[in-house]
Amino acid sequence: MTAPANKNMVVTRFAPSPTGWLHLGHAYSAVFAHNKAKEAGGRFLLRIEDIDPTRCTAPFENGIYEDLHWLGLRWEEPVRRQSDYMDDFKAALSRLHERGLLYPCFCSRKDIQEEIARSGYAPHGPEGMLYPGTCRHLSADEQAQKMQSGIPYAFRLDMAKALACVKGPLFWHDREKGEQRATPGILGDVVLARKDVATSYHLSVTVDDHLQGVTLVTRGEDLFYATHLHRLLQHLLDLNVPDYHHHGLMLDDQGKRFAKRNQSVTLRHLREVEKKSPQDVMKVTGIYLLSMAAVFFIMTVPANAQTPAEDPPATLEQQATRQVLRSPKKSFVTFSLENDSIGSGRDEDYTNGTRITYFDAQAAVPDIIHSVAGHIPTFSINQTTSVFYTLGQNLYTPSDITIREDVPGDRPWAAWLYLSAGLVTVTDNHADELELTAGIVGPAAAGEPVQRVVHEILGASTPKGWDNQLHNEPGLIASWNRRWPAAYSFSQGGYYAAVEPHIGLTAGNIYTYASSGITFYLTPDNGGLQDVPPRVRPAIPGTGFFATPDDSFGWYVFAGMEGRAVARNIFLDGNSFRDSPRIDKEPLVGDATLGLAATWDDIRVSYSVTYRTREFHGQDEGSLFGSVSLGYRY
């Protein structure tokens, strides 16, 4: 067989089988192979491995070209289709026949299982049970008789005879694992061809890599053990030995390899149904197409220069995407209660807030939301995009709730009943939140009956001043918040700590303010992702998401500070379009929060306490209120 002309040039290939639509794992492998060639100034090949005539189809083959073109990949023409070169594989098979290294096997899977059951011994290799050698010792006459009878058969490699042809150890170089010694005996007598197909994957891929001059074979780590056999075939057939790089696998939400039957992760589905872009797919897989600018840099950078690590740390978006894809539990319901009685023990100022939030970590985003998000600067929709919905109520009272009359110099009575809908998306290493809130301020918000009932149950003082509350007014708030959850982080001694800055803007007739702050958190380093429990605005934000191991206990300590420049606060400024109680607000307000969340299996409980600086002129001191929340994931 002809050897490649230039052994020094890096040549890689991507070799899919047209038996289904390409999925995310294929995208990773294709871009990985492309980049390895381009960063060395080499060649990238595409090969169609269509040796199975019963499963390979033209639509699937055309789909391969469409998907790879969509990703931005380009390859050398012509594409080698294995079905067009069966003579090459027959020639290799004949060489092994001539050396007496093959024998026909007439066993079906059922026959093999029954033989193993009868013997009571099942030899195992790294990929499962090995063939027990049932047909290895058939005589030539028995073989000929069975073949003439029309029984289906396969040609197996007689591993013992093949190894006897090897003088000394065989090695190959793996760029991920280093120098490797081949031990093909662990795979047993493998099938190299069948009666109706003159080759198998193992034989055809080894022959093709030689004939196409492939110098670097990049493929998933699931094929690592196959390389032991391929190295033996290279020796037996006098083929060139390339380098190998077995990369990690992308896994589905069950922790298994992606399968072509899983339509939700095929590139076709992501492109045509979910309207994803090639950049979205790159972000999900965590590997990016090497640009020509990057190729130029790699080819011209001095040999002794410091270059980035080959596999840079995964971005927050990649980590979040993998958590979402792997976790079977993507929905979260959290009930939150904020009250001054579980903070300062008093009943004044911001006296109560209740909120129930539904958070879906992988809900389908409606097309109209796609369109809207496309017009919002810095916001993008990708695999991490999550939706949340909230129903909540806030109550505000002056310092003495037993006084029936309006109290000059103190904050007005007010209630706020609202519904919110929002999106959260992680892009690179930051998270963006958009929230639209609509509700009602005034008697229609049901502040008075709720507080009266609660106080009766608790035996607390009866609130008497609700006749002085703000008038009914519809409210609308639009909020944007950006966080950098992994801006500063480190792991030490089994713990993970991080510092998360955030900024935000909120506008509407209820609140208008700009905010900035920072959150600190500490948690065991168990490989999961967690977020701060959801809070009632204005507050340090959180979604309530947690991806911790099932059936285990975990905890999460957090502390934060936030400052707000307040342009409007209806609960101090009063109604927008009519006279109402009001008081002069402080333009700058700050919060300081300390909290602890504990998780067991699918339940998370948290408690935090917040100190808020004075919000209006004449307020004696800042307020202190506590927050408890109960979250459940499913």
Tell me the DSSP string of 467-513. GGSPPPEEEEEEEEEEE-TTSEEEEETTEEEEEEEEEEEEEESSEEE
pTM for this model (two decimals):
0.54
Give every strand in the sheet of 11-14, ordered side by side. 11-14, 43-48, 80-81
Across the range 213-236, mean pLDDT stands at 93
pLDDT digits 0-9 by tens, 230-285: 999 999 999 999 999 998 877 655 556 665 555 557 898 888 888 888 888 887 77
Note the pLDDT of residue 296.
Answer: 29
Query: What is the SS3 assignment for 320?
Result: helix
How many angstroms separate the Cα of 74 from the Cα of each of 12, 67, 185, 217, 289? Answer: 13, 11, 39, 18, 11
Per the prediction, the chain carries an average pLDDT of 83
Specify the DSSP class assigned to residue 82. G
> Which residues are 434's β-sheet partners?
423, 480
Burial class (CB in 10 A: 0-12, 13-18, 19+), 74: exposed
- pLDDT of 307 over the 80 cut: no
Whether 47 contacts 286, CB under 8 Å = no
- For tokens 């099938």, the residue is 191
Note the pLDDT of residue 263.
Answer: 57
**Distance from chain centroid for Cα 613:** 39
Note the pLDDT of residue 308.
Answer: 33
Across the range 54-78, mean pLDDT stands at 90
pLDDT confidence tier of residue 300, bands split at 50, 70 and 90: very low
Across the range 435-451, mean pLDDT stands at 94
Quote the longest CA-to-CA distance of the chain.
112
Note the pLDDT of residue 534.
Answer: 67
- pLDDT of 439 over the 60 cut: yes
pLDDT digits 0-9 by tens, 612-621: 999 999 888 8
First to last CA, the chain: 58
pLDDT digits 0-9 by tens, 114-138: 776 665 555 555 656 788 888 998 9
- pLDDT of 58 over the 50 cut: yes
Note the pLDDT of residue 536.
Answer: 63
Domains and CATH numbers, the chain: 11-263 (3.40.50.620), 320-633 (2.40.128.140)
